[in-house]
Every structure is written in C-alpha cells, then in structure tokens.
Chains A and B, each alone.
Chain A
Amino acid sequence: MSEPTPVAKSAGQLNDEMLSSMRPPTWRWHVLAFALGAVVAWGLAAFAYQVMTGMNVTGKNRPVMWGFYITSFVFWVGLSHSGTMVSAILRLSQANWRRPILRAAEAMTVFSITVAGLFPLIHLGRNWVVHYFLPYPNQRGLWPNFRSALLWDVTAITTYLIGSSLFLYLGMLPDLALARDRSDGWRRKLYGALAMGWRGSAHEWMVYHKASTLMAALIIPVAVSVHSIVAWDFAVTVVPGWHSTIFPPYFVIGAITSGVAAVISLMIVIRKAFHLEDYLTPLHFDNMGKLLLVICLLWSYAYFVDVNITWYAHEPIEWEVFSFMTDKYTPLLLLMLFGNSVLPITVLCFKKLRRNIGLMLAVSLLINVCMFIERYLIIVPSLSHKNMPFIWHEYAPSWVEMSIAVAAFAGFALLYALFAKFFPIMAVTDVREFEVRKAEVPLGRAKLPVVAGEE
C-alpha cells in the first residue's frame, strides 16, 4: 500500500501536482531538448555517412558480423520489458503501490521497443533494399523466410510495439479526458480526439477495468515471447557459446532485470524533475528494490547455470570460446558480475539502503551499464573466436557505431521528454482512485488503513 500523503489534498490539487510536467516548457526544458536533438542529429549524420560510404566504416568484419548494433538491439528490447513487467504484473496482482509508477514504465516500454526496432535496420547494410523484407509477390524470386529466427523477430517486435502502444493508450484514456478538460486550443482538440468522448460513466469504468485486466494478461506472454525470440536469434545457431537451451529464460530474466532497473532510474529522474516527492515515496523504491533483488538473484542463477554447463561438459570449442572471453575481457566480465549480481544482491537486502534514493539511482544505472556489457560479452567473443582459428578476428566498435548507440540513448530521452511535456507522466486517475478509496478503520486500540475495492 502507498504511504498516505501527509495532508488530504483536493482533487484539483492532486491534478495540478501530477500534471505539473505538462506546464509550458521552461528554458531548461528547451536546453535539454536542444542538446538531445543535437546528439540525435549527430547520430543521423553518422548513419548517413555509413549508408553513403559502406559498412566498412563500422568495426564489423568477418567473422564478427554482429557487433555494437545488435548489442544495442538486444539491450533496448530488454529495456522494453519494464512496462510490461512492472505495469501488467502489478496490475494483475492488484498491488496498490504500482499506481504512481505505471505510466513511466509503460511509456518506457513503447519508446524502448521503438528504438530497438531501428537497430536491425541500421545494422542492415543495404538499407535501400529494406523492402525485400516485405511479403509481397515480386519478380526477384524472393520471399521472407519465416523459418528464420530473424523473421520471428520482425513479427514479435511488431506485435510488441503495437501491443505496448495500445496498452499505454488504454491506461491513458481517463487521463486524456482529464487533460482535455483542463486544456484549450489545439491541445483540447488533440486530447479530445484521443479521449474518444470519455465521460467516466459507470459503464465506461466497468468496461475499462475489464479491458485493462485482459490487456495486461495478453501483453505478458507477448513480452516473454519477444525476448525468447531474440534469444533464439542466438540459440538456434551453432555458434559456440550461443547454442544453449538456457538462452530464452536467461534473456527474459536479463530483460526484466534491466527493465526494472531502468524504471527505478526513470522514477528518480521524474520525481526530481517534476517535484513528485509526495507520490513517488521511499516505499515505492523499497518495493521496486525488492522486485529488483529477486530478479538479480534469478539472473545470477541463470548465469551460473549457463557457465556450469559449459565448464562441466568442457566441450573443446565451447570451452575455448569461454576461456577467450574470460581472458580477453576480464575487466568487463568482472564489472558485469559485480554490477548485476554482487552489488545489487548485497545492497538490496537492506530496507534502509533500498529506501536511499541516491543509492538506488547508482545501483540501477550500474545494472543497466552492466546489462549492456553482458549483451556485448555474449555476442562479440563468441563470434570473434569461433570454430575456425584461421579467421579469428578481433572487433572494436568504430566512432560511427558508438555515435549511433549514443544517439539512440539521446533519442529515447528526447522521446520521453516530449511525451512528459504533452501527456500525463503519472497515472493521475489511478493515483486519485486510490486516494478516494482509502480510509482508516478502528481495530482494537489502533486505527488501521484500509482500501475499498470490489470482490
């Protein structure tokens, strides 16, 4: 349950505070948007240079044909699990503390999967023939090969992008009506169109709640399938180090880890930027910290299982690849284990530390850095040190790849900043619903908080 706000606030006050992100932008917002836009523009310029010059401007070469772009792709797909896991699962379990977190998590999902979907196109090489992907009769004798894991990816990511966008829109419906009622001019028309004439009648609320529950139940298996399919991009190959049945659950667990950590980071930023300290309280970070602790334990277990199987079987090529990775990338490997396993498990066991917002920010950011490293260590060492020693080759990302990867982060942040400016960044009606339903009832010598709900 949420910690109660110290003084009972009126609905108008709650609306004002939770919709504060939608106020006219300050000069600071403009500076931020300009800076992020500049980084995105630099990334676009790097991409244009790559298209005009050729893929030789990247570090990719035989045998490492998947490098920074695919690492980024897997990373961003992982981040997109945030909204689903936080929002959908907590919605189904009716955890009341989820309410202030929902919107941030759901928006993060949509923007993460959008950014993720760009990377296969960036990585493609001959982008001007991307239409070869499309299933339409042609005279080239080509048809998308649905037996390839890469086409399963296309299907899954398209499904998840549409599904998570619908999930975000569904959650926003009553808040869009609220924004409509508080706006004028073009904003009123925009929110009015999106709100679809919502009035908040009893029938509308009843259908809305049932639809939200059904969508939450539908999006969870889609999220699990998306990252399982991304894992199959690797696991269904015969590349040493990749061909492992643990990969799908390992990738899903890794995705949830990075997703939950990213939600925590975003919550802290939003809390500070929009002065939402009354709504995103230490209790929320405490609960998210517990969730993160469980997920980090699962990730540690999955990694241990993967390594144990490789070590115990000691199959020569698999072991050669693993030894190469541990020898050549020792600092990255140790950082990854420390950031994903040792530090979170140690820190998150303690309530006082979970409620320390600065520490939670540091831990969650480190987890995401280390999850990026984890994806890099899965992809690059296995490819650079495969079965045939005469084509072993090292890989290092070029300035083009790094520019585009950084631009992806800036693009995500820009999308998020624009979203927060034009749409409610907090689930206002969800939070207010909790406020009107809670009460205190006397029990024995104490007064206990209760929340009214349906059976």
Chain B
Amino acid sequence: METLGIFEDIETAGRAVDSLVKAGFSESEITSLTSVAYPDGVLVKTDGRTWFRWLALAGGIAGACAGILLAVGTAWVYPVQTGDKPIITYYPTGIVTFELAMLFAMIGTIAGMFLDMGLPPRNKRPYDQSISEGHIGISVSTTSGGESSRANEIMKAAGALWISAEETL
C-alpha cells in the first residue's frame, strides 16, 4: 500500500519526512513526488544506484556487431564489384559500425532508463495533480493497514494538506 501526503512547500514536506524517519519508517520506504528535481537529501535520500547504463553499453555492443554484419557481412554475401576496389574495407566499415553502435546505445539508454524507473507502471500508484502546480508529495510504502494509518497521522500532524492511499501489489 502507498500512502501519499500532499504538502504546501518544501519545508513542511521536509519536516514530515523527518517525523516519519523518527517514527521508525526507513528512508527506502519513503519517497518524494515533485514537479522539479531537488538535490538528493533535500527531502529523501536515494541510494544513487542505477543499472540502465549497462543496457546502454549492451546496446552499443549490439549496434557495433550489427554495423559489422551490415557493412562486412552483407558485402561479403552480396559483393558489388566497383572497379578493382576491395569488397570489404576498413573506413566504411568503421563508419557504419560507429553509427549503428551509437544508435543502439542511445536506444538502449532510453529503454534502460524506463526499465530502471519502472515505467510505465504495472499497478496504479497514488498521485495528485496539484504536484504539478508546486505542491510536494511524500509517499510512504507500507505493508499493513496499521502502518498506513500511522503514516497518515504523522503526515497530518506535520501539516499535510490532504492524504490519499492506493493499494499496490
């Protein structure tokens, strides 16, 4: 279950996070929902770890292989005689390989980014449109109704404008 509290500004949201942490909720159970990015630790601390760059690297390697297959492989299978010029050459192969490596790396970056973010989400998650207008959301992931109620009370006491909750699998 995710419980979302909406706060007027960054200071009240920060106080709410402090209260939640003091009450025993771990940092990994709490996240902020903001319409602009804040430096890490202003509201919540993330672990800073991402893995999407491996997918970008894998894309680059796959692209390089595709480039070599395209420039060398196809030229070898379907040779086009142009005077006495070699069928397989270094520079054109290098150029085509580079372009496809970069293309696949960029596609891998975007795909990896979405996978790392968990987007599009499989389940409905709590969200409030007022976040886009400058309000700050603090979301707490809980495993029981009791914990959700506790989070609810803490955030209300800290100055939450309103609270909503969503069951997430």
Contact = CB atoms under 8 A, between A and B. Distances in A.
A135 B74 contact: yes
B156 interface: no
Contacts of A200: 33-36, 131, 137
Interface residues of A, number: 62
B121 interface: yes
Given A215-B106, A229-B95, A199 B74 contact: no
Interface stretch (A71-79, A175-183, A267-275): A175-183
Contact of A211 (B52, B96, B107): B52
Given A145-B80, A147-B92, A219-B106, A202 B132 contact: no
A453 interface: yes
B133 A15 contact: yes
B70 interface: yes
B35 A432 contact: yes
B63 to A, nearest CB: 9
The majority secondary structure among interface residues of chain A is helix
A196 B119 CA distance: 6
B65 interface: no
Contacts of B100: 155, 159
B116 interface: yes
A172 B121 CA distance: 19
A199 B36 contact: no
A12 B134 CA distance: 7
Nearest to A178: B132
Nearest to A179: B132
Interface string A190-212: 00000011111111111111110
Interface in B62-85: 70-71, 74-75, 78, 80, 82, 85
Contacts of B46: 202-203, 206
Given A197-B120, A208-B117, A218-B106, A12 B133 contact: yes
A180 B93 CA distance: 44
B32 interface: yes
Contacts, number: 172
Given A146-B71, A197-B121, A206 B40 contact: yes
Contacts of A178: 35, 132
Give the residue among A142, A167, A205, A225 with the most B Cβ atoms within 10 A. A205
Interface in A147-170: 147-148, 151-152, 155-156, 158-159, 162-163, 166-167, 169-170
Given A10-B134, A432-B35, A199 B95 contact: no
Nearest to A10: B134
B127 interface: yes
Contacts of A174: 35-36
B99 A11 contact: no
A202 B40 contact: yes
A25 interface: no
A181 B85 contact: no
A122 to B, nearest CB: 23
B154 interface: no
Contacts of B44: 202
Give the residue among A178, A199, A215, A429 with the most B Cβ atoms within 10 A. A199
B39 interface: yes
B139 interface: yes
- The 7 A-B pairs at the shortest CB distance, nearest first, are namely A11-B134, A143-B78, A181-B132, A211-B113, A205-B37, A433-B36, A159-B103
Given A11-B134, A15-B132, A432-B36, 5 more contacts: A145-B80, A151-B92, A166-B109, A204-B119, A215-B106
